[in-house]
Amino acid sequence: MPNTQYSDAEIAAALEACAREPVHIPGAIQPMGCLVSLDAAMERVRQVSANIEVFLGIGVTDALAGEAREVLGDELMDLLGTELVKQDSSASVLTAQREVWGERRRFHVVAYHSGDAVVVELEHLMCPDRHRLLDKVNDWLVEVNQIDAADTLLDALTRRVQELTGDERVMVYRFDEKWNGRVIAETCLPQAESFLDHYFPASDIPAQVRRLYDMNRVRSIPDASAPAVPLVPPSGPGEAAPLDMSRGVLRAVAPIHQEYLTNMGVGASLSMAMHEEGRLWGLLACHGLEPRPLEADLRDALCALAQIAMGRLMLLRTRADTHLLHGIHDSNEILSDERGRLLGPDGLIQRHGAEWLELLDAEGIALVTGKESCGLGTLPAEENLVAMADWLSRHQGPDTPWHTQALARTPLAIWQEGNLCGLFAVALPTESSHWLMLFRREQRHSRRWAGKSEDTPMLRDGQLVMTPRRSFAQWQEEVKGRSRAWRAIERRAAGDLAKSLAVLTSTHEIAQLNERLHHANCKLKSLAYSDSLTGTWNRYRMEKAIDAELNAAERHDRPFAVLLFDIDHFKHFNDTHGHETGDQVLVTLCRVLQNILRPTDNLGRWGGEEFIVLASDCDLVGGLHLAERLRQSTEEPDLGNLGGVTISIGVATWYPGDSRKTLVARADQAMYRAKEGGRNQVETEASSIIPPSP
């Protein structure tokens, strides 16, 4: 029943205060370890937990009066100095020994920066066989790599974790777009209640707690009912705010969460965050019905298991997404009909629409072009499709797709027909008034919730606060009027499909236009990369090739050479015989030289009568030999009464740190030395000349 004792404003204020609860600064820790806060120089002790004597054998008063080395010991302090000098935001995990009451004790240590303080959290390390845990992690790596289904993977993860922890319930809990959680995998012993396929409201894990999982992947609560151990003093010297323990493992449990766990019948809890591309995807949650100590090494191993599983899960998701995109791209190829003509939009959708509907899990596909439409599957009437497209053109940006699961709750509801509740619409890039639309049917289903979200307001210490719900009894919500959600990869695939369909709306004569476009594209490509006279690469293409060769050389230390040459006295040749004849000489010369080059060499026109050869996998000696062959071959063509031509060549080879500019400049300088030395010869950057053969 709704609460009638308090006003809506009072309840809203209580909810807002709950959302702002400073769970990261509780001013206390759990009793499974102790905490020591040091100054930035790690010389003086600022704060300690009240139970420090249990762990380190030194009283609170003595610890606060002593120096850091006296409290933590030389070994740990030396490790801290090494690990924390980088001053980054992550926590360091260490293992150290300390003599306590005459015996050597081993500690698992988590150290991190918190404002101006260095926080050190210590737990007893008692694991008798750490190698066993490493074996378990290695076994999991082997098992994970053999699993190719997400459900199987997550079931195996919960089973493995349950075997290691002994907890009565281990589950994978995934967030939806509204931060409600759903249990999608579970291993549950008979004495615990199963929550498999149950939903939990977003308020169970509020925003400030989710933010903590972004900073610290693990939250361990071995004893949900254990009283918190306060810090002494409550705040550091000169600080009003309590210590921020976001990155630690000992942070005390908020009272409201303790009450929540008690109401749920949980005595011990362990949660590990699972992230996808930097966003919190879900949690691996372990529940023990009774308090259960958790060895720190085991906790770290369990975290490793969860992260390994998440990596594999994302790989499987990527494979599935890639398969979808490949399916769309493969089917987007515009096929010719029996007469060799390209299909129009209607013919294309009739031919390929069924495949697209299957790939995108939709019931109807329509292409609306102005006042006309064509489509396949279950669709609204054409006039309603056109009306939807008109509204989208007026209210939706052409670069932003539009989608919904509940069409009846949108301005397009007046044109909805039947049980088509889901719509994804994207404007074709060529025309903002042309839309590709995909429709999905209503997907009625029952959503099982693990108790109703019914936080109750009550007065505590004169202040209205929210208390967690007391019941986790299952109840069902009937979901109506909604289709399956459009996943991001499906929206991307549909957008790619729209781009491919866009060209089909450009003209009613698709075949002729595409033929002209094909020839135009071939010509543009040729113009972009080739010299129009000689057919060799142009300067732009050659510059790109040199840049690529430079990158390969830097990565693989693979030599290459650049040969720059021009035709001797070519200006005089043009003046004597005319530019048209000179052009024919250039064409003939390039044809001859192409036959001399290796398949890995490339010839390009650098400008005028100046040409360049890019010789891959070629050192200086090889470059010289190649240049000499080119020079000799230039003298061989029979040009009749035109006489003959010769070339002067400059050779430069790659050195580490070279740029295209410096490399070509050395070849250019070498070429000019060849000209100054008498022409018709080869010159290298080292000034070594190969004279022409007699």
What is the C-alpha separation between 265 and 262, in angstroms, rounded? 5
Q: Nearest to residue 449, comparing CAs of 185, 195, 190?
A: 195
Question: Taking Cα atoms as reference points, which of 409, 415, 346 lies closest to residue 380?
Answer: 415
Bond into 411 cis (ω within 30): no
Which domains does the chain show, CATH number per domain?
A: 1-126+230-250 (3.30.450.20), 130-224+266-320 (3.30.450.40), 345-443+481-515 (3.30.450.270), 530-690 (3.30.70.270)
Above 70 in pLDDT, residue 6? no
Range of lowest pLDDT (57-71, 125-139, 141-155, 221-235): 125-139
Residue 89's pLDDT is what? Answer: 66
pLDDT in tens, 634-657: 887 777 777 778 899 999 999 999
Range with the largest mean pLDDT of 274-278, 332-336, 341-345: 274-278
Q: Is the pLDDT of residue 541 over 80?
A: yes
Question: CA gyration radius for the chain?
Answer: 37
Instruction: Specify the pLDDT at position 102.
Output: 86
pLDDT at 589 over 80: yes
Q: Give the chain's mean pLDDT.
A: 84
Gap between the Cα atoms of 6 and 9, Å rounded: 8
To the nearest whole percent, how much of the chain has pLDDT over 90? Answer: 50
| Residue 468 scores a pLDDT above 70 | no
Residue 30's pLDDT is what?
96
Residue 184 or residue 10, greater confidence? 184
Tokens for 37, please give them: 């806060």
Confidence at residue 147, expressed as pLDDT on a 0 to 100 scale: 94
Q: Which pLDDT score, from 0 to 100, does residue 11 have? A: 44
User: Largest Cα–Cα distance in the chain?
Assistant: 113
Q: What is the pLDDT of residue 635?
A: 83
Q: What is the pLDDT of residue 499?
A: 81
Asked whether the beta carbons of 452 and 469 are under 8 A apart, the reply is: yes
pLDDT at 3: 45
**C-alpha to C-alpha distance for 399 and 385, rounded to whole angstroms:** 20
Among 112-121, 170-179, 457-466, 571-580, which stretch is predicted with the lowest mean pLDDT? 457-466
Give the dihedral of Cα atoms 117, 211, 300, 277; nearest 10 deg.
Answer: -120
- Please enumerate in sequence order all residues whose Cβ is within 8 A of that of 129, keeping only pairs 6 or more positions apart, or say none: none
Residues 508-529: tens digit of each pLDDT: 434 444 566 566 565 666 667 7
Quick: pLDDT tens for 256-306: 888 889 988 999 999 999 998 889 999 999 999 999 999 999 999 999 999
